[in-house]
């Protein structure tokens, strides 16, 4: 979907584009390649390792600026750099394969790492603290809502019982407790702890809150004709994006007394494709993350 994202985003080769989630830098580089010598990319990631990785990948580049910041703060960070308007914003949400593959970061139930899950290593709250401090009811609610995990109550109870005996330190401790509740893997496509880990990662990193803020603030800073392009991986993210932009779609409603009334919040937008684009069968076979990817694109009409 990389080329589809770049095709959707870049409308002006000399424009200024924001990649809000540089990760490994694949999209950042592809955007840059689509621009001419006047075009520029401003890349954000809240993970310092990602910023350093992309800096190495692209080298010192006068048309690329990299910012270690939560994309929730994107509008402020751009203003501080005297950038008031951009031609497009791209977000590829969730965690990167680098974060998942590195056991030390504590995102994966597969390795033996500290129960961390912070995208931004300078953040105070880690998964370890969240699991130690959160009361059982709230924990069940989070695992149910963000993980869409049907065994949420039983899992929360088991976690709270186990932490009375010994605090959780490792990802493998947590995975083992969830696995015990859910009865092992038994031919399931997903590991039994997948949804619980997803929920805890999302709450620790306040992922939906960041998304909500960047949508609201950056829609006001994209030029007319520019694009907002989002790759989502979770039904709640996708719903948030869909509902947010639907409120900004310009609608003409016929009045009984004659004439039409224009409805919708400003700035107006239009869906570039009404339905989200999904990965091809081949991409899904190659990359399991692609199975839940949805690409949504809007054009800003002003
Ligand atoms: C799926 S990866 C992006 C992969 C990237 N498009 C590439 O081509 O390699 C998501 C990245 O977004 C970052 N991220 C997630 N939420 C963020 C936020 N609120 N602010 C800034 N970066 C965020 C993560 O740290 C991760 O590096």
CATH of the domain at 39: 3.40.50.150
* Residues whose CB falls within 8 Å of the CB of residue 50, separated by 6 or more in sequence, listed in order: 22, 23, 24, 25, 96, 98
Q: Please state whether the predicted TM-score (pTM) of the whole model is above 0.85.
A: yes
Where among 169, 204, 239 does a domain terminate?
204
Where among 147, 181, 204 does a domain terminate?
204
Decide whether any atom of ligand 1 lies within 6 Å of the 234 Cβ. Answer: no
Please give the distance, rounded to the nearest whole angstrom, from the Cα atom of residue 277 to the centre of ligand 1: 20
Identify whether 73 is part of a domain.
Answer: yes
Q: Which atom of ligand 1 is nearest to the CA of 23?
A: 27
Looking at residue 61, its pLDDT comes to 85
* Residues whose CB falls within 8 Å of the CB of residue 157, separated by 6 or more in sequence, listed in order: 136, 140
CB 36, CB 13: distance < 8 Å: yes
**Whether residue 66 is found in the same domain as residue 214:** yes
Where among 174, 204, 234 does a domain terminate?
204
Looking at residue 58, its pLDDT comes to 95
DSSP code at position 114:
B
Identify whether 118 is part of a domain.
Answer: no
Q: What is the CATH number of the domain that holds 160?
A: 1.10.150.170
Decide whether any atom of ligand 1 lies within 6 Å of the 96 Cβ. Answer: yes
Decide whether any atom of ligand 1 lies within 6 Å of the 237 Cβ. Answer: no
Number of domains in the chain: 2
**Whether residue 81 is found in the same domain as residue 151:** no
Looking at residue 286, its pLDDT comes to 84
Looking at residue 70, its pLDDT comes to 98
Bridge-based pairing of strands 251-254 and 260-263 is: antiparallel
Decide whether any atom of ligand 1 lies within 6 Å of the 39 Cβ. Answer: no
Please give the distance, rounded to the nearest whole angstrom, from the Cα atom of residue 228 to the centre of ligand 1: 16
Please give the distance, rounded to the nearest whole angstrom, from the Cα atom of residue 43 to the centre of ligand 1: 10
Q: Which atom of ligand 1 is nearest to the CA of 70?
A: 20
Looking at residue 283, its pLDDT comes to 87
Decide whether any atom of ligand 1 lies within 6 Å of the 232 Cβ. Answer: no
**Whether residue 212 is found in the same domain as residue 93:** yes
**Whether residue 89 is found in the same domain as residue 170:** no
- Upper half-sphere CA count for residue 36 (Cβ side, 13 Å): 6
The domain of 215 spans: 2-97+207-300
Using most ligand atoms within 8 A of CB, pick from 28, 53, 89, 96 the residue to mutate for ligand 1. Answer: 96
**Mean pLDDT per 10-residue interval, the chain, length 302 residues:** 96 98 98 97 98 94 95 98 98 96 94 96 97 98 97 98 97 96 80 96 98 98 98 96 97 94 96 91 84 95 94
**Whether residue 80 is found in the same domain as residue 151:** no
**Whether residue 82 is found in the same domain as residue 214:** yes
| Minimum CA distance residue for ligand 1 atom 12 | 21
Decide whether any atom of ligand 1 lies within 6 Å of the 26 Cβ. Answer: yes
Bridge-based pairing of strands 277-278 and 269-271 is: unpaired
Using most ligand atoms within 8 A of CB, pick from 27, 34, 45 the residue to mutate for ligand 1. Answer: 45
Please give the distance, rounded to the nearest whole angstrom, from the Cα atom of residue 152 to the centre of ligand 1: 27
**Whether residue 16 is found in the same domain as residue 157:** no
**Whether residue 85 is found in the same domain as residue 18:** yes
Which candidate, 221, 227, 266, 226, places its Cα nearest to that of 82?
221
DSSP code at position 268:
P
**Whether residue 192 is found in the same domain as residue 228:** no
| Minimum CA distance residue for ligand 1 atom 24 | 95
Looking at residue 291, its pLDDT comes to 87
């Amino acid at each position: 979907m990389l080329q589809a994202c770049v095709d959707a985003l870049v409308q002006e080769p000399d424009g200024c584009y924001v990649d809000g989630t540089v990760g490994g830098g694949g999209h950042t580089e592809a955007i840059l390649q689509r621009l001419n010598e006047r075009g520029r990319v401003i890349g954000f990631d809240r993970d310092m390792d990602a910023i350093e990785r992309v800096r190495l990948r692209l080298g010192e580049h006068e048309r690329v600026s990299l910012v270690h910041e939560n994309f929730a703060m994107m509008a402020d960070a751009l203003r501080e750099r005297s950038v008031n308007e951009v031609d497009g914003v791209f977000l590829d949400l969730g965690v990167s394969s680098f974060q998942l593959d590195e056991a030390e970061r504590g995102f994966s139930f597969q390795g033996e790492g500290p129960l961390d899950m912070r995208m931004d290593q300078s953040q105070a709250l880690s998964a370890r603290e969240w699991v130690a401090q959160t009361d059982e009811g709230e924990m069940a609610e989070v695992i149910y809502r963000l993980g869409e995990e049907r065994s949420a109550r039983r899992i929360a109870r088991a976690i709270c019982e186990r932490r009375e005996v010994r605090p959780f330190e490792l990802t493998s401790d947590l995975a083992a407790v969830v696995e015990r509740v859910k009865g092992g893997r038994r031919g399931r496509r997903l590991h039994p702890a997948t949804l619980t880990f997803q929920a805890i990662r999302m709450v620790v990193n306040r992922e939906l809150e960041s998304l909500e803020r960047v949508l609201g603030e950056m829609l006001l800073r994209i030029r007319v004709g520019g694009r907002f392009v989002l790759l989502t991986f979770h039904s709640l993210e996708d719903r948030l994006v869909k509902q947010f932009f639907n409120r900004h779609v310009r609608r003409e409603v016929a009045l009984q007394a004659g004439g039409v009334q224009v409805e919708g919040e400003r700035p107006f937008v239009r869906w570039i494709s009404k339905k989200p684009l999904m990965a091809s069968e081949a991409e899904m076979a190659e990359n399991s993350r692609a199975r839940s990817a949805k690409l949504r694109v809007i054009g800003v009409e002003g």
